[in-house]
Amino acid sequence: MSERIFPNNFLWGSASAAYQVEGAWDKDGKSESIWDKYVRIPGTTFKETNGNLAVDHYNRYKEDVQLMADLGLKAYRFSIAWTRILPNGRGEVNQAGIEFYSNLIDELIAHNIEPVVTIYHWDLPQGLQDEYAGWESREIIEDFVNYAAVLFEAFGDRVKYWVTLNEQNIFMTLGYVQAVHPPKVSNYQRMYNANHIANLANALTIKKFRAMGMTGKIGPSFAYNPAYSIDSKPENVIAAENYEAFNSSFWMDVYINGKYPKTVLKGLEKLDVTIDIRPEDHEVLANSRPDFLGINYYQTNTAAYNPEDGVSIGKMNTTGEKGSSEEAGVPGFFKRVQNPFVERTNWDWEIDPQGLKLGIKRITNRYDIPVMITENGLGEYDKLTEDKQIHDDYRIDYLSSHVDAIGEAIAEGSEVIGYCTWSFTDLLSWLNGYQKRYGFVYIDREEDDATAKLTRYKKDSYYWYQELIKKHS
């Protein structure tokens, strides 16, 4: 794309999450999160991997920031561990946690890298989960807003971009429907009520941000998988419309317009689900429009008709064995099927750069709001050669085609303010261990912490992104 397409202040960045990179899971006053506990359950993760050490970013952040600076990053999106700041979830602030993130922010700014802070990236304090079932209780709203206020007070003088909740749709559906994330239950009723509480927490956090007079911008980050119909057969087109409503509009409509789609609420009645929406909730949701919408984009989904006795929760591919995932859906509404026109990764994620353009355009047309691409990347097997090189042309092809798609969307009228790849370094891929690699920087480790060398090596994609940023700067 022409350099003129992307604005001069475009945030060319990359991203990470605290649990996936930091390690030091019990150091300097940090308490246990739900993920620290969850990964100890046998069989939950690939080869029983955990984030106890991760890639040791907690102790090596200066080295990692120097690598970012050498690459030329304009922004770095990272999350703050609630458990480092408020070990009990509320109450006394852990100054060691404040100091770590303050030092990281200062290090970024010293290297002319804009910090983009995610307030919540899935690592809820285990104490709050034990006390009142976490997101299933309205008690969490006050605790979350107070936690966010601590961050605004401590870092708001230096941080200008804030992400409230990362992929609420993912941590809710995987935790409360598919039962592969904590709290590992499968119950639509519990999921939709917990999700509504998270919506209120998001809205009131945005309200608090503005009440405190913070300068900068704030918004949630949503995992958007735009839906296609498998063909033009009417029942399949309707299924795709249902898919988009249930899996995308249901969240984005609330974030931006403060209202749930009527067709989804009606559909939930068919599933015997009633959301506990109280009269005062409507005003809360209606008055907290974000400044931007973060989009985490990896793939599109293709939908087809799903009969009343059709598929429901299918198997996820968390092993990297291509073709091992299963069809899944909601009986009577839709099912997800393979798109015959796109390639797939070894984890069965569909590679579709034009789907990113489609998603951005749909958001522009429906909501007219600026977009920040908060995640986009390719998880694959990377190999370190004998001469310590990593030739990941497949990642370069993936990222460059998605950058082109963003440029096309901008040229056609959408406002995109930044692009943060996932991820800067290799990291723990939640259920998938360390074999599924995303980074520009290779981390020399496998699943066993004891043998982890943690040496950093620049991949070919590192140099490609370096040149791309120079071209557009």
What positions carry a catalytic annotation?
Answer: 167, 375
Tokens 């739900």 correspond to 34
Tokens for 337, please give them: 């099927």
* CA pair distance 114, 372, nearest whole angstrom: 14
CA distances for 445 relative to 159, 206, 393, 394, 427, angstroms: 32, 39, 21, 21, 10
Q: What is the DSSP letter of 316?
A: P
Q: Is 226 helix (H, G, I), strand (E, B) or coil?
A: coil
Q: Is 13 helix (H, G, I), strand (E, B) or coil?
A: strand
The answer to whether residues 314 and 328 touch, using CB atoms and an 8 Å cutoff, is yes
The answer to whether residues 250 and 224 touch, using CB atoms and an 8 Å cutoff, is no
The answer to whether residues 367 and 257 touch, using CB atoms and an 8 Å cutoff, is yes
Question: What is the Rg, in whole angstroms, of the alpha carbon atoms belonging to the chain?
Answer: 21
Tokens 């290090």 correspond to 107
Q: Is 430 helix (H, G, I), strand (E, B) or coil?
A: helix
